[in-house]
Amino acid sequence: MSGERTMRRMSQESGKRRRPERRVSGQVQREVMQLILDRRLRAGAPLPTEIELMETLGVSRNSVREALKALQALDIVEIRHGYGTYVGQASLTPLVDGLTFRTLARHDGDGAALAEILQVREVLEVGLIRRVAAVLSDAELDRLESVVTRMEEAGRAGRRFPELDREFHEALYGPLGNALVPQLLGAFWTVFRRVSGARGWHDDPAPELTARRHRDIVTALRAHDVESAQRALAVHFRGIEARAAQESRGVG
Amino acid sequence: MSGERTMRRMSQESGKRRRPERRVSGQVQREVMQLILDRRLRAGAPLPTEIELMETLGVSRNSVREALKALQALDIVEIRHGYGTYVGQASLTPLVDGLTFRTLARHDGDGAALAEILQVREVLEVGLIRRVAAVLSDAELDRLESVVTRMEEAGRAGRRFPELDREFHEALYGPLGNALVPQLLGAFWTVFRRVSGARGWHDDPAPELTARRHRDIVTALRAHDVESAQRALAVHFRGIEARAAQESRGVG
DNA sequence: ACCTATTTGTGCGTATGTATA
DNA sequence: TTATACATACGCACAAATAGG
């Protein structure tokens, strides 16, 4: 076919060009979500192409793309350039993004927003460790201990170990069988890290002490001493709060 | 200034139409977020128009709109048709949407995903009520009691009171001073309601009993009996779980 | 290694709805 | 009522990425 731009598209004559259907914004998003639910599409399953969606839903490609972008932000769909669109994991990344933004936007200086997140984390962990203690197997305790050992090694070498810290808390609450818990705690953990980084805070100034706090938790769990475990956990959080408070004073 | 739209901007002739600059997807979103942070824009503050954004960021209108749609899904911006774009509340609505979708998508039948959400709610509330009990004023207790009284009135009339239930839990944890807590609990509450509704579950079959559970909580708090309050709260959750389990059996 | 078809990404022009003045 | 400014929607053309022949 010739590269002709063809006519500037009648516009005026033959007029009317069917009206835009006045679709409420967000309608397409809901329709795509409903399509996934109706077809029982699992995470990773391919979605119809944009062309198919615009035909199925009777909207333009731009509208389809805007809806898909919104769903992508919610991790409900995953878009791969030049390949296709797929059902997403519906993870808690939107929560991470939203909480990070709002914590940074609330330029309170004294880190009150971070303290709120820490409080929620602490209440959750202290409450959950009681239930975890009842179901932890020896193998799972061994795994926790191996993480702590690696922490101690890193601490002696003066290195920090943020990944080990995250791994510890995930391994601690994984055995609960509640998939939401590790994701939620991980989300709060990530928000804390990102905000700390964005504010230029220093890393853990006493990694050896941090490693010991975790050792105390495992020791208490081995002894099936729930109260001790809760106390050790609380002490751990006091340490985090103290660091955050110090940094806030230093910067604010 | 003349309203001249000026030249139609060469497009066809003078060829080549400057290359798209290979902008990674999501880049524009981050730039808009950074713009809000840099300019210290508060929630409700107006954002630059789409035209200004496309000029500032050097991208097309479509790219700007897709980025704004994604940010709207995260409640980071709020778009008002024909009016303008504003900084959003950064609420937890993305969490609600994501959790609702993922709970509905996980067609497990036995409502395991809902049980996970309930467990998180319970751990949070039981853990927090200890801290709340220490700061609750008489006026706040009166407010809680008035909600319970309205529950009882509704219960005697055989009416349900989902809004009062939500109001109770918000009034209970509001005095903590942690703005994240009521939003988080409210998010879980909303997800539970939406999923229940989508699955066609019945409403509370025994509203009078539910009202009494709440009365028990207030009574314990008035007596400064934290353990009793925690027990009453746990009993309340046992009731919710029982209803959910019954509905799951009935439907699944 | 090259080509091609498919699919998503980007840019542009334009018509229309909506709110404000 | 009119005018203006803005967001919303549609359609098209082309760029870029990916998979497969």
Distance CA B236, CA A19 (A): 53
Phi, psi for residue B80 in degrees, rounded to 5:
-110, 120
Residue A233 DSSP label: H
B73–A75 CB contact, under 8 Å: no
User: Any chain B CB within 8 A of the CB of A148?
Assistant: no
Average pLDDT over residues B239-250: 87
Nucleotides of C under 7 A from a protein CB: 6-20
A95–B97 CB contact, under 8 Å: no
Q: Which chain A residues are Cβ-neighbours of B181 within 8 angstroms?
A: 116, 119-120
- Please tell me the predicted confidence (pLDDT) of residue A251: 56
| β-bridge mates for residue B129, sequence order | none
pLDDT beyond 50 at B18: no
Distance CA A229, CA A221 (A): 6
- Please tell me the predicted confidence (pLDDT) of residue B7: 31
Distance CA A248, CA A72 (A): 34
B90–A105 CB contact, under 8 Å: yes
Q: Which residues 185-244 of A are in CB contact (within 8 Å) with B?
A: none
Separation between the CA of B187 and the C1’ of C15 (whole angstroms): 40
User: Any chain A CB within 8 A of the CB of B123?
Assistant: yes
User: Any chain B CB within 8 A of the CB of A184?
Assistant: yes
Residue A176 DSSP label: G
Q: Which chain B residues are Cβ-neighbours of A6 within 8 angstroms?
A: none
Strand D close to A76 by CB, under 7 A: no
A95–B92 CB contact, under 8 Å: yes
A25–B81 CB contact, under 8 Å: yes
User: Any chain A CB within 8 A of the CB of B117?
Assistant: yes
The whole-model pTM stands at: 0.90
Identify the closest residue of chain A to B61 by CA–CA distance: A62
Nearest nucleotide (C1') to alpha carbon of A47: C7
Whether A87 and A43 have beta carbons less than 8 Å apart is answered as yes
User: Any chain B CB within 8 A of the CB of A34?
Assistant: no
Nearest nucleotide (C1') to alpha carbon of A54: D10
- Please tell me the predicted confidence (pLDDT) of residue B93: 96
Quick count: other Cβ atoms within 10 Å of Cβ B59?
A: 19
Whether B95 and A95 have beta carbons less than 8 Å apart is answered as yes
- Please tell me the predicted confidence (pLDDT) of residue A21: 52
User: Any chain A CB within 8 A of the CB of B95?
Assistant: yes
Separation between the CA of B237 and the C1’ of C2 (whole angstroms): 66
Share of chain B above pLDDT 70, in %: 89
Which residue intervals of chain B are DSSP H helices?
A: 27-38, 50-57, 61-73, 93-105, 112-135, 138-156, 162-173, 180-198, 207-222, 226-251
- Please tell me the predicted confidence (pLDDT) of residue A2: 34
Separation between the CA of A50 and the C1’ of D5 (whole angstroms): 32
Separation between the CA of B31 and the C1’ of D15 (whole angstroms): 23
Average pLDDT over residues B5-16: 32
Phi, psi for residue B237 in degrees, rounded to 5:
-70, -35
- A83, two tokens: 């390949």
Q: pLDDT by residue (tens digit) across B48-63? A: 999 999 989 889 999 9
Separation between the CA of A82 and the C1’ of C4 (whole angstroms): 14
**Residue nearest C5, CA–C1′ metric:** A82
Distance CA A132, CA A174 (A): 9
> Look-up: residue for tokens 């003078």?
B14
pLDDT beyond 50 at B248: yes
Whether B71 and B94 have beta carbons less than 8 Å apart is answered as no
3-state secondary structure of A35: helix
- A60, two tokens: 């333009």
Strand D close to B81 by CB, under 7 A: yes
> How many residues are recorded in chain A?
252
Identify the closest residue of chain B to A184 by CA–CA distance: B120
pLDDT beyond 90 at B221: yes
- A97, two tokens: 């993004």
Q: How far is CA A196 from the centre of its chain?
A: 16
Distance CA A142, CA A126 (A): 21
User: Any chain B CB within 8 A of the CB of A104?
Assistant: yes
Angle A183-A184-A186 from CA coordinates, rounded to 5°: 65
Quick count: other Cβ atoms within 10 Å of Cβ A123?
A: 21
- Please tell me the predicted confidence (pLDDT) of residue A221: 97
Average pLDDT, chain B: 88
Q: pLDDT by residue (tens digit) across B41-50? A: 999 999 999 9
Q: pLDDT by residue (tens digit) across B24-47? A: 668 899 999 999 999 999 999 999
- Please tell me the predicted confidence (pLDDT) of residue A4: 31
- B71, two tokens: 């940010």
Phi, psi for residue A64 in degrees, rounded to 5:
-60, -45
Of A132, A148, A247, A165, residue with least CA distance to A201: A247
Strand D close to A18 by CB, under 7 A: yes
A98–B75 CB contact, under 8 Å: yes
Quick count: other Cβ atoms within 10 Å of Cβ B8?
A: 7
Using 70 as the pLDDT threshold, list the residues of chain A that sit under it: 1-25, 250-252
pLDDT class of B2 with cuts at 50, 70, 90: very low
Distance CA B214, CA B168 (A): 8
pLDDT class of B80 with cuts at 50, 70, 90: confident
Whether A44 and A77 have beta carbons less than 8 Å apart is answered as no
3-state secondary structure of A91: coil
Q: How many CA atoms lie within 13 A of A148 on its CB side?
A: 18
Average pLDDT over residues B152-161: 95
